[in-house]
A = this chain, B = another copy of it.
Amino acid sequence: MNEPKPIESKPRTRRPSVAKTTQTRQAIVAAALDVFLERGFSDARMEDVAARAGVAKGTVYRYFTDKEALFEGVLREVIAVPLAHLTLMSPEPGVRLRDAIWSVVLPIVRDMERSKRAPVFRLILAESSRFPALAIMFRELVFDPIAEIIRRLAQRGVETGELTTDALVRFPHLMIAPNMLAVLWNGVFDPEHPLDMEAMFAAHLDIMFGKDESGCGPPAPQS
């Protein structure tokens, strides 16, 4: 039963605990995101983060070395997660260009309105001078993939003659711009009279491809 105790110095045992800590970490991350979104980096207080996570201040420092690490860590997690399902979307042949673009961009628009992505985007923008790497990461993981899809679609559009210019191939960003504007408009410049992002995007397509006749636009644009 009892094996010979090796003379004493056996370091007894070591237990790396388990799920509890990751649970705590998640609470901290979630709390930190909320606090940073509300106050921005400089005005966010570590005590507030701890309080909202239901832990003491010192605990936060067991998971993140300092405030900057907390900010970067939290936002990296938020940025990295999403949009994965979109990146692989490839242009299905046979679909009209307008419809293809619509079906690619619409989910992004919809999700933008009902998630934290818009506020996160504005936060990254606000703190970009202190955390330039985050802004670049956001571009690489969010903007660039979308732009690349648009570019491919545009390229096909040029080949099929649906587009008379390669302008959209050279500047796929043009397809993203209206949404970017709407996010800032609704969150910053005129929250009282928010733009209907979906309607605006449909309008954009109307201008580019002519008034839509099929059934893929919104049911009936608002007043």
Binding site for B on A (CB under 8 A): 38-40, 42-43, 122, 125-130, 132, 135-136, 138-139, 143, 163-165, 167-168, 170-171, 173-174, 176-178, 180-182, 184-185, 188-190, 195, 199-200, 202-204, 206-208, 210-211, 221
Contacts and interface: CB of A to CB of B under 8 A. Distances in A.
Contacts of A221: 170
B171 A139 contact: no
B178 A136 contact: no
A164 B203 CA distance: 11
16 contacts: A125-B126, A125-B184, A126-B128, A128-B188, A138-B189, A163-B207, A164-B210, A165-B210, A165-B211, A167-B204, A167-B211, A168-B207, A170-B203, A173-B185, A174-B203, A180-B181
In the A-B complex, the 3 residue pairs with the smallest Cβ-Cβ separation, listed nearest first, are A42-B42, A167-B203, A177-B177
Most interface-central of A177, A184, A195 (chain B CB within 10 A): A177
A189 B135 contact: yes
Contacts of A207: 163, 165, 167-168, 174, 208
A136 B190 contact: yes
Nearest to A203: B167
Contacts of A167: 202-204, 206-207, 211
Contacts of A135: 188-189
A165 B174 CA distance: 19
A173 B195 CA distance: 10
Contacts of A122: 125, 128
Given A167-B207, A184-B180, A174 B189 contact: no
Given A165-B211, A189-B135, A171 B143 contact: no
A174 B40 contact: no
A90 B125 CA distance: 35
B203 A171 contact: yes
Contacts of A38: 129
Contacts of A174: 178, 200, 203-204, 207
B211 A164 contact: yes
Given A164-B210, A164-B211, A171-B178, 20 more contacts: A40-B129, A40-B130, A43-B130, A122-B128, A125-B125, A126-B127, A135-B188, A136-B190, A139-B189, A139-B190, A143-B189, A165-B207, A165-B210, A167-B211, A171-B200, A173-B181, A173-B185, A173-B195, A174-B204, A208-B208
